Amino acid sequence: ALYLLRLKRNATCLIQVERRGAGGGCSPSGQFLSAKRRVAAGAGNGFLHGIAGNEIAKVAFVDRQWRLRPVHLTRDGGFLYVCRNRNGCIDVIKAVNGYNRRGRLVSHERW
């Protein structure tokens, strides 16, 4: 499961919960999703997880062979992808991209 929490102290957190544990991270709310950062993504326990802003229609990551790998977006903009690699997602992902409804790249975060 993936949860987005907004704290009273002006922080927004993305929390991933699975049967073996939980993990996540927080950022100042103004920097979590913004004009410069339209996709917030993280990795842990063998998963790529994140959330996309309302203007994002498609999310894909760039793998180590420079291929685009689309990830499924839920209706509320969340995504969770299982990295089937012995080292989890660290050795798999080079960047995470977000595309608008016209298919234009509007967000690119290098890893």
Decide if pLDDT at 72 tops 90.
Answer: yes
What pLDDT is recorded for position 53?
92
Q: How far apart are CA 97 and CA 56, in angstroms?
A: 10
Average pLDDT, the chain: 87
pLDDT computed for residue 18 by the predictor: 77
Bigger pLDDT: 30 vs 79: 79
In order of 46, 66, 79, the CA distances from 58 in angstroms are: 21, 18, 10
Per-residue pLDDT at 62:
94
Dihedral-angle region of residue 7 (phi above 0 means left; psi in -120 to 50 means alpha; beta otherwise): beta
Of the candidates 69, 70, 39, which has an alpha carbon nearest to the alpha carbon of residue 54?
A: 39
In angstroms, the CA 67 to CA 47 distance is 18
Q: Give pLDDT tens digits for 15-64.
A: 888 777 777 888 888 777 877 789 988 887 788 889 999 999 999 999 98
